[in-house]
A and B are shown apart, each in its own frame.
Chain A
Amino acid sequence: MDRKRFLRMCGLLAVVLSALSGRICVAAENDEGAQLRAGKNFIETKIYTEEEDQKALALFKGLRVSDVCDGMDAVGLQNIGLMDPEMRPLWKDTEHYSHRIVGIAVTARWVPSQKPPAGHMPTDEFRKWASHWYGTYAPEAFAPLIRKGTVLVTDNAAGGRVDVGPIGSNNSMSWKARGCIGVVSNATSRDTDELITERFPVYFRKTGRGIRPGRIEMESVNRPIVCGGVLVMPGDVIVADGDGVIVVPRHVAEDVAAYARKILEGDKAGRRELYKKLGLPEDASVK
């Protein structure tokens, strides 16, 4: 074997070895128990195309959380998808309802870290440390999944026990640029003043100020997460407005939307009449 070929082989071997490094122990034991011990997830997820997403979303256009809640009742899922009412919009627009979102969930789960904070170090080193943490432990791995109609739903490090803002006025704009129509966070967000200025819909519990390094790590993307006390599967329909957030399991989305539509139309007709009787001008809520 010549030197070049030998080196190439070594390189290949290194790639294969590094690719296997996480599973070496498992391979050595090679039985079901060992595989289980290495960690296993159980709930299967489904993949939808952007066209399928858009088709589902068209059915939900203009529906309010209350309509959708009625639709969930009608398919036997009373109280299943309603997030804690503590999960609320950062800002409201009661003229044109631009804070409302109807979208398809891309999910992400952050967990608190076991790794220590940086401690006091020279600023240059701190920047390196933070940059390394971002790249290695807390990247926004979900970003490439964001497309037209996406609502990013995050389970955010222990429901707010960590004072961290993985959602801010900068990254939210980059997600928006990819088609993200809003964010739902099980806990925190920062730069809240600017997020209001930017008119980016955020539903969350409270502010979280810190950067991710030293605080959280990315655990999963598009896996089942718990947000506002309920299960969110990637691909679920997310509807959010001043009443909070509701999650519609994708397989019942059509039925839920159909029932909810009837409720909305009935409500609009009724209120239109009342507005007329009261001599009030029609607003966006009855149009």
Chain B
Amino acid sequence: MKSTNVSVLISLGIALLGPLSGCSYAAPARAATKAAAKGVTTETLADLRVGKNYIPTKVYTEEEDLKVLALFKGLRVSDVCDGMDAVGLQNIGLMDPDIRPLWKDAEHYTHRIIGVAVTARYVPTQKGPAGRMPIEEYDKWAKNFYSSYTSEPFVPLIRKGTVLVVEEAPNADVGSIGSNNIMGWKSRGCIGVVSSATARDADEIITEKVPLYYRKPGRGIRPGRNEIESVNRPIVCGGVLVMPGDVIVADGDGVIVVPRGVAEEVAAYAQKILDGDKAGRRNLYKKLGLPEDDSVK
């Protein structure tokens, strides 16, 4: 299923206006629901029963991506957070502080990422583990599970400036992101990865210096543990909504998601904050006789 178009969304919205609990709109809402129940044809009901997605997504070109990323160059999470406040989105895009960098480079800040979200959603599987079987059969089982249920269909979407943002099966001890595939993604232009949960090969990913933001290690392979549910659909990561195309900024303070529609405004405000902060700290460094570092340049 692809994103539903706007008009259907709106008409559905009007038609299915739900009964609201505990507030004074309850009566009109009930009337709307009754009317909606009458108006639902067998056909639309069958469409609905097979499953339907509601939030439309937007597609951007690589040029559009790079244009918006240029505005964010050098901005920190704190600057961008101030920018979100300034456009009325206080606390909207800040992921849980539990989502943190696997490694930090406090000299050149190479762990920081500013990119455009490609999204992927893994869900826990209902299929059982392999159980005990001959190794050859097990290999076949795992291979089939990878290709049939838990592939990486987002890979072709990765391009210059991409940050891969993954919603992972919440309770699975699984490492969908590892030191091998992350290099594959890097070779396509991926500048970093954000996961709502887990990754494996943590030591090597540090060695490889690929920026990764996540909660905790997850050790197992995907077969028997998760399945790919969607690519470039709305996902929830670190407690916030991430739309494909959103701007992702991450550093030692965590991860913030900037809705693409407000990206320019947020960047403009954030830039002022950063410039002011740098000027102020540059002065303090001078006063303290400290050499300038990357953070004030």
Contact = CB atoms under 8 A, between A and B. Distances in A.
Interface stretch (B45-53, B66-74, B211-219, B272-280): B45-53
Interface stretch (A4-12, A56-64, A155-163, A275-283): A155-163
A144 B19 contact: no
Contact of B243 (A19, A40, A114, A230): A114
B284 to A, nearest CB: 35
Interface stretch (B6-14, B186-194, B199-207, B288-296): B6-14
Nearest to A168: B21
A37 B241 contact: no
Nearest to B15: A139
A40 B230 contact: yes
Contact of A114 (B37, B92, B156): B92
B178 interface: no
A218 to B, nearest CB: 5
Interface residues of A, number: 86
Contacts of B169: 226, 229, 231
A220 B239 contact: no
Interface stretch (A28-36, A92-100, A257-265, A266-274): A28-36
A170 B21 contact: yes
B54 A229 contact: no
Interface string B14-49: 111111111101101110110011001000011011
Interface stretch (B75-83, B101-109, B118-126, B137-145): B118-126
Given A36-B156, A39-B2, A226-B123, A116 B229 contact: no
Interface in A230-274: 230-231, 233-234, 236, 247, 249
B147 interface: no
B230 A42 contact: yes
A47 B233 contact: no
A169 interface: yes
A143 B54 contact: no
B17 to A, nearest CB: 5
B7 A171 contact: no
Contact of A81 (B58, B93, B126, B234): B126
Contacts of B243: 114
A234 B51 contact: yes
B221 interface: no
A55 interface: no
B86 to A, nearest CB: 12
Contacts of A40: 2, 153, 230-233
A174 B19 contact: yes
Given A22-B5, A157-B236, A229 B57 contact: no
B51 A221 contact: yes
A233 B21 CA distance: 27
Contacts of B9: 136
A26 B2 CA distance: 11
Interface string A67-108: 000000001111011001000000000000000000000000
Nearest to A167: B21
Contacts of B153: 36, 40, 42
Contacts of A159: 170, 239
A92 to B, nearest CB: 22
A161 B259 contact: no
Q: How large is the interface on B (under 10, 10 to 19, 20 to 34, 35 or more residues)?
A: 35 or more
Given A40-B231, A131-B25, A219 B2 contact: no
B171 interface: yes
A142 B18 CA distance: 10
B232 A231 contact: no
B230 A39 contact: yes
A115 B15 CA distance: 22
Interface in A140-182: 140-145, 157-159, 161-162, 165, 167-172, 174, 178
Nearest to A17: B7
Contacts of A174: 19, 30, 33
A124 B55 CA distance: 27
A21 B21 CA distance: 33
Given A38-B2, A190-B21, A219 B8 contact: no
B135 interface: no
A161 to B, nearest CB: 4
Contacts of A183: none
Contact of A47 (B28, B30, B49, B230): B49
Interface of B: 1-10, 12-23, 25-26, 28-30, 32-33, 36-37, 40, 45-46, 48-59, 87-89, 92-93, 96, 123-128, 131, 153-154, 156-157, 169-171, 227-234, 236, 239-241, 243-244, 257, 259
Given A161-B239, A169-B21, 15 more contacts: A21-B5, A37-B157, A40-B233, A43-B227, A43-B229, A112-B239, A114-B93, A131-B28, A137-B13, A172-B21, A220-B51, A223-B1, A223-B53, A224-B229, A234-B51
10 contacts: A25-B58, A38-B57, A47-B49, A114-B92, A116-B87, A130-B25, A134-B25, A170-B21, A172-B21, A222-B49
Those 5 A-B pairs whose CB atoms lie nearest each other, nearest first: A168-B21, A22-B5, A140-B18, A229-B171, A170-B21
